[in-house]
Structure 1
Amino acid sequence: MLIQPLQTVLQNAPSLSTGLPTLDSILDGGIRRNSILEVSFVPGAGSEALDLILNVVLEVLEAGERVLWIQMGSLFPIRKLVQLDRFHGPMLDQIAVITISSLAELTYLFSNKLKKQPRGQDQKYGLIVLEDLASLVNYSFHKLTKTFTKRRAVVTDHNNNLEAEKKLGISKVRLPRNPYSAADRRLHFLQELMLMVSSYNRTHNSVSLLCGPLNTTNRKVGKSNVTQTILQPMLGSTGVWLHQIADRFVIFKDWCRTNESAGLQVLPHIAVQANPRNPKTPHPTKVVVFSRSREGIIEVSTKGRNMDPETSTERKAGSEAEATTQPDLEGSSQSR
């Protein structure tokens, strides 16, 4: 029996290509099997993020594998998919689309339907796309907060006090740590969901994509009362469930000078964080530029510009004209 190091086994494991050579190189050969990826996008770049996801879908379909698309917000983009030259009619038989309207349905899907699925080659899904998961999660727990309000009892976020209306004869009661508040329920659900998705990926050698828009929130700057608007990952940047995320992509648009064009063009960019599991440890963020074509998406070579923000000489020189506005994957964004 040959015993190999874990790193060697991971390098030799088959991976899924994204269709972009530079992006595959950043990911050490492509998207690793048995992994979960998060694909977020800034406002206005949703169509470009969909182009990237459909490109991965085509890679799976061309390999003869099946795709499961779980729609929780918008409908499955069938028109956009069939317009690509790489798509063929028989590929529709390899795609299954499921509509989920509640967290209970999503939990039942992974804990029962998919868990009891046979391990045969014709039954498993090589790719699972969870579209707009964050919207369903946020909406469901917003309804839970409203339910607490209708019951005339609210658990506050800061001190966990149960505040009842005065006509009940209770003004404020100090409670111990409540493990069933809305925030704790949300964290517990995400942790359980990621474990179920990871379990399916390991059993069937699959890849799961979580896609959705970045969240806009405000935070204080230092100790002052000044607030700053920032962009955060769609499900947040902290939590135990984050250890299940292998890679994180953020799609945004920016000006770029290419070899094919003499002037500047607005092209979609992919910011890649290869290991977001420890937010306290800085990880280099790579940027890949791409454009849309009839075949799907193609990589765009930049002219006289290093798109790596860690080694870019233009950033060190403080150039404002060519500075790229990129969302910070740790939960902040730079402004022009």
Structure 2
Amino acid sequence: MSDHLASSYDLVIFDLDGVVFLIDKPITGAAEAVERLRADATPIAYATNNASRRAADVAALLNGMGVSAEPAEVLTSAGASAALLAERLPAGAPVLVVGAEALRAEVRDAGLTPVDSLEDEPVAVVQGYGPEVGWKILAEAALAVRAGATWFATNTDRTLPSPRGPLPGNGSLVAVLRTALDREPDVVVGKPQPGLFRTAATLFKSQRPLSIGDRLDTDIQGAVTAEMDSLLVLTGVSGPADLLAAPEDRRPTYVAADLSGLFRPADDARLPGPGGESGGWRVTRDGDRAALDGSGDPVVALRLLCAVTWDGVPVSAITATSPEAEELLRSWGVLDS
């Protein structure tokens, strides 16, 4: 067996937005990474908080991008939410759906009745991301929750990654109702809750899964909660400054620039990095301050700095002592421009 990072795991669970694609464009190297895992006979699952597509639609989208996928490999927060609603409600119960048609279809297929008005007397509200969600359906949802309906959120991602930068996600839409109702949802189904991760591990009979994500507050925190190893890739929402400041429950096992890190030695990505120096970089600590010197691979510098910031050095107390280090820290937003 080869000794690259992925070879130690019997299942790789991919997040989608920010890991495999951005909106509708594949991220460079994603298709190649998936095919290499398949060539190594490593099972693959795709777990996404995005509730705007069904599993078959997600698989079709991936295949259309050149990333191989089967519907059975895809777990969505829409499907998981509908399954949970079906467990808790009687067959045929009316559920007010805030979100895309995919979420309505999942609710319908779960044996429940999707509705869109308080007059339909919904016993639950399920809220997921949908690009057409507007004031009218949010108002109906607020009225239904006030009337006693149980409020389910497929996820609370504040943003969605895109080639143009972060866009409002379902968490931003949930915040509208949170403000109007002055309360939290009764149930949040998707990441960072551990359900999607544990379901994937159960489906594939995995004893040692690896979860890959781009968000510390959902993908990585969810993996930590599910007691799984995780890899943060820097192709989506969370960046180096976020990782340096990450609390314990949002710290990944590994970090890599992109999915090619799966096929490099695990010790090249493990967090935190070795103390002192590595790969042309050197971190010197003086009490509650630290300095970065040298040049080289930015991920190596990031791992070295995690070793000190995760041990108490504030991110604001990091300085640079070489031009390359200064340029890198400025690009991360760690130093003032």
TM-score, length basis structure 1: 0.39
Query: RCO (CA 8 Å, sep 6+): is it higher in 1 or 2?
Result: 1
- TM-score, normalised relative to structure 2: 0.39
* Structure richer in helix, relative to its length: 2
| Bigger Rg, which one | 1
